[in-house]
Amino acid sequence: MRECISVHVGQAGVQIGNACWELYCLEHGIDSDGQMIKKGKNDKNDSFDTFFHHTGNRYVPRAVFVDLEESVIDVIRTGPYKSLYHPEQLISDKEDAANNYARGHYTIGKQIIDFVLDRLRKLSDQCDGLQGFLIFHSFGGKLRTAKKQTLIKASSSEKVNFRQEDRN
């Protein structure tokens, strides 16, 4: 299989992701708690497993939502699709970067980066043929540059390796 993991970063990324996953569920016949509505539609030849992981009797998005300020992610936690995601996929902190790159990159962002990377490792371990990551973010904003740089730098270091052939 060919799987992709979506990473939704910052307010814009989280809001885009929330809308995208609602649409993906509608297109693939999945209800708000991960149950298949239309039986038989998603066979093994479908690209369905690229974005969803089947666990037990539910389908869970291969996605992580990250924001330093919790209010945007709380919309997902309390919204109609709150049961679709595993709680560890919704990562937030209590403190905002306050439009400050240094706070987002060097202090506050570093506090949650290990948790984000750990969750990405867990999601990648569930994949048979991880093809890559889709990163959703804004073109500007307080968190986009700092968080994305921290995430890419950490995931490309030698201690973190998501490549399939090196896992055995």
In the block, residue with structure tokens 């109609």: 80
Decide if 150 contacts 157 (C-beta within 8 A). no
Length reported for the chain: 168
Is pLDDT at 79 greater than 80 in this prediction?
Answer: yes
Determine the distance from the C-alpha atom of residue 115 to the mean position of all C-alpha atoms in its chain, rounded to a whole number.
Answer: 12
Domain ranges for the chain, please list them: 3-159
List pLDDT tens digits, range 53-66: 998 889 999 999 99
Q: With 90 as the cut, is the pLDDT of residue 96 above it?
A: no
Look at residues 134, 135, 121 and name the one whose alpha carbon lies nearest to residue 164.
121
Closest CA to 100 of 108, 92, 88, 89: 108
| pLDDT level of residue 37 (50, 70, 90 thresholds) | confident
Q: What is the mean pLDDT of the chain?
A: 79
| Residue at 105: amino acid letter | H
What digits encode the pLDDT tens for the residues 1-20? 789 999 998 889 999 999 99
Q: How many helices (H) and strands (E) does the chain have?
A: 6, 6
Q: Among 34-38, 43-47, 108-112, 144-148, name the one with the lowest average pLDDT.
A: 144-148
pLDDT digits (tens, 9 = 90+) for 130-140: 998 998 988 76
Which carries the bigger pLDDT value, residue 67 or residue 40? 67
Query: In this model, does residue 166 exceed pLDDT 50?
Result: no
In this predicted structure, what is the pLDDT of residue 156? 57
Report in angstroms the alpha-carbon separations of 82 from 22, 85, 143, 157. 11, 6, 24, 33
- The pairing of strands 90-92 and 63-67 is parallel
Q: Are 155 and 130 in contact (CB under 8 A)?
A: no
What dotted CATH number matches 3-159?
A: 3.40.50.1440
Neighbours of 161 (CB within 10 A): 14
Q: What is the pTM of this model?
A: 0.79
117, pLDDT greater than 80:
yes
CB atoms within 10 A of CB 149: 14
The sign of the torsion formed by the CA atoms of 91, 120, 4, 145 equals: positive
Alpha helices in 3-54 (DSSP H): 10-28, 48-51
In the structure encoding, which two tokens stand for residue 13, read together?
A: 């990324």
Which has the higher per-residue pLDDT, 83 or 165?
Answer: 83
Task: For residues 153 and 101, give the distance between their C-alpha atoms in angstroms, rounded to a whole number.
Answer: 15
